[in-house]
Amino acid sequence: MPTFLGKNRILSLVRKFCQAASYFALLALISAALNSCAGSTGKKSSTDVTSNDIPTVESNAESDGAPQNLPGVELSPDLMYKLLLSDLARQRSYNEVALDALVDAAIETRDPRLAAQATRQAVISSQFGTAIQMARLWQELAPDNIDVYQTLGNLLVVEKQPQKAFDYYSKALSLTDEKNRSQLLKQIGNTLIRYTSKEQALELIETLAAEYPHSADVALAHASVSSSLKQYDTAATALDRALALEPDNIDAAVFKFSLLVLQKKDSEADQFATEYLKKHPKSLELRNLLARYYLESNNLEAAEREYLIIYRQDETSIIALMSLALIRMDSKKYDDATQYLEKVLQLQSTSDLARLYLGDIASLQKRFDDAIQWYSSISDTDQLFAARLRLVDVYLKRDGTDAALRELEAIHPESDSQQIDIILLKNELLTKSGRIDEALQVINDALSDNPDNIDLLYARAMISAQQKDVAGLEKDLLRVLEIKPGHVQALNAYGFTLADLTDRYKEAYSLISAAHQQKPNDPFILDSMGWVEYRLGNLDAAEGYLRKALSKRNDPEIAYHLSEVLFAAGKKREAKKVWLKAKKEFPDDEKLNSISEKMKGNSL
């Protein structure tokens, strides 16, 4: 149990300590007090202001390498008492007692270190008037100290006097060298953003930045603050100024590209990065950003081109090698992907992520023993659970459902989320093998412990859809949408089921449209849009959605829907062409097989 000392008890202890301690022990304690900046943990201020709003001061008492102008003060018993009282009170979180002692000591000694320490202690105690008073004393005693001007500016901003803070911030910037000026401007900007209005912050930063019209770093800091305030046009102007001053400023180039992407100005972002990299081809930071942008935009060809350039410039780039491997895996060039992943392991033998992907490739190539070996070699906790789940899939493909279920049962979850993942996978295995009643029992048992788990409710709804139980599906998906309004998968599944199994087409269209607005390029939602348009009799619209869906994902159900729509529209040859292609790739698909007779008929 912690013990607490009252104020009088602290005073008594300090007096006794002063009487008993040796001179040398006292000198050590006082030196420590002078050199510290009140960094101990005191009670948190009742406002949002903390001692972190006061810059560190111990090193900057000397501004340019000149000796500190420290007073020659006699180490009197009274001064010893005040310093020890302050230190002990601070340790016991008696901040006001500590502050009173420090203020007295600072005024008595006129030591800039104590004035700085008193300023910080006043902030901890939420005594901002005293903090400003002590900061002014600190300024008087250390007129070339950068931190004192920044501190005074911060305090005036906190006290809702941002215009009065300008002169102090300006002085701090003028005392700072070119290398550190932009960082100081960002710090000032953060304080202004935190304590003033957006308009006041932007006005003050623009005025301060205007004093350094030829500094690219200051322009970059100006852009950073403007962007934080969501003033993107102002940020863009500042970035253009930075690049005009320093065309090879990679930080400005990266910032500009990121800002254009943030504003969804994709063509401008692409054009800017491409032109910049033509002039500065070795700017790997921007090229990596551009390659990742292409990857996230699903422009795999462009992403691969950029990552190849990165790899040629830096053969040790793990990011480039991993990205190239994934792109080659997507295009089913598994041998190339394997070579890249093996190079990753040569550079970083501990990369279990590379082993995970090598296991994936082996599984896709039906080299199941190799896949098991790769997955079993993974020990990293971040990849281990994923590897165990993939092992289940390998055993399913090689040995069947019962072997996969045995492997799944052997996994010991380390969290509730892992337990849910195991339950969902067990449900999937049982469902795919036609053991619907067992699957339903697994989900019901899990829901008895987690009645509002969205994933479990959704899984049970999908079982209801398989059983053509519209009422059961509605009950679970309505609960999902109650817990998480706008849940995309629930909206899409609910709408598709209504379109597929009922005549509630307008209601279905409303649900699917809500999902489509959130994810306009999702192939499954596009498929649902196509199917509900078909049900509504809008065959042209249906065909457009389904062709787009099939171009994004080669899926047998999407192909089945498109074949049906084309057949209904009288485009029977096109329907048969789509069906034949899908049938070749998915020969065992039940829905494709269900229309075999129609597609092979003489009418075609």
The number of angstroms, rounded, from the C-alpha of 599 to the middle of its chain's C-alpha atoms is 49
Q: CB under 8 Å to 588, separation ≥6 — which residues? A: none
75-99: string of b/e by CB count within 10 Å (b at 16+)?
eeeebbbbbbbbbbbbebebbbbbb
Q: Mean pLDDT lowest for which of 108-122, 295-309, 337-351, 465-479?
A: 108-122
Identical fold for domains 412-484 and 486-604, yes or no, is: yes
Q: CB under 8 Å to 188, separation ≥6 — which residues? A: 150, 153, 169, 172, 205, 208
pLDDT at 49 over 50: no
Tell me the mean pLDDT in the region 22-29: 40
Nearest to 492 by CA among 466, 461, 468, 467: 461
Tokens 């081809």 map to which residue?
Answer: 281
Long-range contacts of 423-427 (CB under 8 A, 24+ apart): 423/456, 424/455, 424/456, 424/459, 425/389, 425/392, 427/459, 427/463
315 HSE (CA, 13 A, CB side): 2
Extract the tokens encoding 313. 């410039």
Nearest to 113 by CA among 61, 164, 152: 61
Using H for helix, E for strand and C for coil, what is the string for 391-449? HHHHHHHHHCHHHHHHHHHCCCCCCHHHHHHHHHHHHHHHHHCCCHHHHHHHHHHHHHH
pLDDT at 95 over 90: no
Q: What is the pLDDT of residue 24?
A: 39
215 contacts 181 by C-beta, under 8 angstroms: yes
For 534-589, how does the pLDDT look when each residue is reduced to its tens digit (9 = 90+)? 999 999 999 999 999 999 999 999 999 999 999 999 999 999 999 999 999 999 88
pLDDT at 2 over 80: no
For 369-426, how does the pLDDT look when each residue is reduced to its tens digit (9 = 90+)? 999 999 999 998 889 999 999 999 999 999 999 999 999 999 999 999 999 999 999 9
Tell me the mean pLDDT in the region 8-34: 44
For 495-530, how does the pLDDT look when each residue is reduced to its tens digit (9 = 90+)? 999 999 999 999 999 999 999 999 999 999 999 999
Considering the four listed CATH numbers 3.40.720.10, 3.90.228.20, 3.40.50.1820, 1.25.40.10, the one that applies to the domain covering 412-484 is 1.25.40.10
pLDDT bin (cut points 50, 70, 90) of residue 97 is: confident
For 459-500, how does the pLDDT look when each residue is reduced to its tens digit (9 = 90+)? 999 999 999 999 999 999 999 999 999 999 999 999 999 999
Q: What is the pLDDT of residue 387?
A: 95
Q: Mean pLDDT lowest for which of 13-22, 145-154, 426-435?
A: 13-22
Fold of 486-604: 1.25.40
Q: What is the pLDDT of residue 243?
A: 95
Tell me the mean pLDDT in the region 97-120: 85
State how far the alpha carbon of 132 is from the alpha carbons of 69, 87, 139, 150, 154, in Å.
21, 21, 10, 12, 10
Q: What is the pLDDT of residue 96?
A: 82
Nearest to 562 by CA among 585, 580, 584: 580
Q: What is the pLDDT of residue 90?
A: 75
* DSSP letter (8 states) at residue 52: G
Identify the top-confidence range among 102-116, 124-138, 454-468: 454-468
Query: What is the C-alpha separation between 486 and 378, in angstroms, rounded?
Result: 38
Query: What is the C-alpha separation between 541 and 443, in angstroms, rounded?
Result: 38
Tell me the mean pLDDT in the region 57-78: 51
> Residues 385, 386, 388, 392: is their CA dihedral positive or negative?
positive
pLDDT at 596 over 80: yes
Q: CB under 8 Å to 462, separation ≥6 — which residues? A: 431, 473, 493
Nearest to 177 by CA among 226, 222, 217, 210: 217
SS3 (DSSP) at 281: coil
Residue 162 gets the label, from left (phi > 0), alpha (psi -120 to 50) or beta, of: alpha
Query: What is the C-alpha separation between 31 and 300, in angstroms, rounded?
Result: 63
Mean pLDDT estimate for the chain:
86
Q: What is the pLDDT of residue 443?
A: 96
Q: Beta-carbon neighbour count of residue 501 at 10 Å?
A: 14
Q: What is the pLDDT of residue 181?
A: 86
* H helix intervals, 21-127: 23-35, 77-91, 95-109, 112-124
Q: What is the pLDDT of residue 54?
A: 53
List the chain domain ranges: 412-484, 486-604
pLDDT at 252 over 80: yes
Extract the tokens encoding 262. 């943030």
DSSP assignment of 132-190, as one string? HHHHHHHHHH-TT-HHHHHHHHHHHHHTT-HHHHHHHHHHHHHHS-HHHHHHHHHHHHH
Q: What is the pLDDT of residue 487?
A: 97
> Residues 129, 132, 135, 137: is their CA dihedral positive or negative?
negative
Residue 129 buriedness (CB in 10 A; 0-12 / 13-18 / 19+): exposed
Q: CB under 8 Å to 386, separation ≥6 — which residues? A: 356
For 320-357, how does the pLDDT look when each residue is reduced to its tens digit (9 = 90+)? 999 999 999 988 999 999 999 999 999 999 999 999 99
Q: Beta-carbon neighbour count of residue 500 at 10 Å?
A: 16
Identify the top-confidence range among 109-113, 221-225, 288-292: 288-292
The number of angstroms, rounded, from the C-alpha of 157 to the middle of its chain's C-alpha atoms is 30
SS percent in the chain: helix, strand, coil, step 5: 75, 0, 25
568 contacts 539 by C-beta, under 8 angstroms: yes
Query: What is the C-alpha separation between 327 and 334, in angstroms, rounded?
Result: 10
Q: What is the pLDDT of residue 74?
A: 63
* Amino acid in position 503: D
